Amino acid sequence: MNSAADITWPDLALGFILLIIPFIVLWYYKTGLLKPAIISVFRMTIQLLFVGLYLEYIFKLNNMWINLAWVLIMVIIATITTVKNSELYLRIYLIPVFISLLLSIVIIDVYFLGFVIKLDNLFNAIYLIPITGMLLGNCIRTNILGLSTYYKKLQKEKTLYRYALANGATQREALMPYMKAALKTSFSPTIATMAVVGLISLPGMMTGQILGGSSPVVAIKYQIMLMITIFVSSIMTVVLTIFISNKFIFDSYSNLKLKIVNEK
């Protein structure tokens, strides 16, 4: 099979004309979203162009250390994005989120690339970087949902937490409702998506692979593995972040330190 037809730069510009539709809708209904939308489209384009050029260079070079450094940068950006979007305090959650993301990514990458695909070189850029990127992108989404649910609920329903502790619960038991809510909020969409994937949507990676010249069967195998690894890594990240940050947000009396969520 041949790889995807290139899109020329003028043709790419032609594609941008489609944006007139959402821009008119956002402007007409005075949503206030027109400016942010234009900025976002601009940023998305610049970032992707930059990454495209950068990745071409990285793939050509394919140096283990550069690849690892790139993964590390992706984890750092994912950490900051997660903490900021969850309205959490950077100084409290930066380290827990970073450790959890890094740990989940390392475990899943090693397992998937080393044991499932059985790559000779685990650090091969054309596998390591796109797969880590996809895992991280999905981890960010579930992590933001999970963490903000957990900590906001905990701050809002502090009396229930105390009620549990003052009626015989261990700290783990007292935190159970918050963990349950966090997991339900963040993973219900993932679970629902898995149930309909292929029927009403063709996932990005699979589409990309088919366009890139892979056979649909190979593309589907990758997609199945990717859905599984996304599910596993994002659940690991949410749970690990909560476990690690619990060490920072409670004092030795199991009391919640004053303010844990930066709500506006």
Partner 1 sequence: MSQDTNDIIVENLSKGFNGKAVIKALSVQIHRGAKVAVTGASGSGKSTLINTLMGFVLPDSGSINLLGMDLNESNVHKIRDNISWVPQELYVDINNVNDLLMLPFCFHKNKKSKPSKESLKFALTRFGLDENILNAETGEISGGEKQRIFLAAASLLNRKIYFLDEPTSALDSDSKHKIMDYFLNQSKSTVVSVTHDDEWIKNSQIIINMNQNGSGE
CA–chain centroid gap for 210, Å, is 23
Nearer to partner 1 among residue 8 and residue 159 (C-beta): 159
Q: Which of 51, 160 has the CB closer to partner 1?
A: 160
Nearer to partner 1, 42 or 163 (CB): 163
What is the rounded CA–CA span in Å between residue 102 and residue 255? 28
**Closest approach of Cβ 183 to partner 1, in Å?**
14
Sole residue written with tokens 């995807």: 4
- CA dist 82 and 89 (Å) reads 11
Query: Could you tell me the smallest distance in angstroms from the CB atom of residue 249 to partner 1?
Result: 15
CB 159 within 8 Å of CB 153:
no
Given a contact cutoff of 8 angstroms between Cβ atoms, the answer to whether 223 and 208 are in contact is no
Q: How far is the C-alpha of 246 from the C-alpha of 254, rounded, in Å?
A: 9
Minimum CB separation from partner 1 for residue 162, in Å? 6
Instruction: Give CA angle at 27 (21, 29), nearest 5°.
Output: 105
Residues in touch with partner 1 (CB under 8 A) = 157, 159-160, 162-170, 173, 177, 181, 251-255
Contact 125, 217 (CB under 8 A): no
Q: Which is nearer to partner 1, 104 or 186 (CB)?
A: 186
Nearer to partner 1, 120 or 251 (CB): 251
Nearer to partner 1 among residue 57 and residue 163 (C-beta):
163
Question: In angstroms, what is the minimal distance from the CB of 250 to partner 1?
Answer: 11
Nearest approach, Cβ of residue 152 and partner 1 (Å) = 13
For residue 7, the minimal CB distance to partner 1 (Å) is 50
Cα(187)–Cα(193) distance, integer angstroms: 10
CA angle 174, 82, 233 (to 5 degrees): 75
Alpha carbons 134 and 140: distance in angstroms, whole number: 10
Report, in Å, the least distance between residue 247 CB and partner 1: 14
- For 179, residues 6+ apart whose C-beta sits below 8 A from its C-beta are 150, 239, 242
Nearer residue to partner 1 within complex by CB, 15 or 168: 168
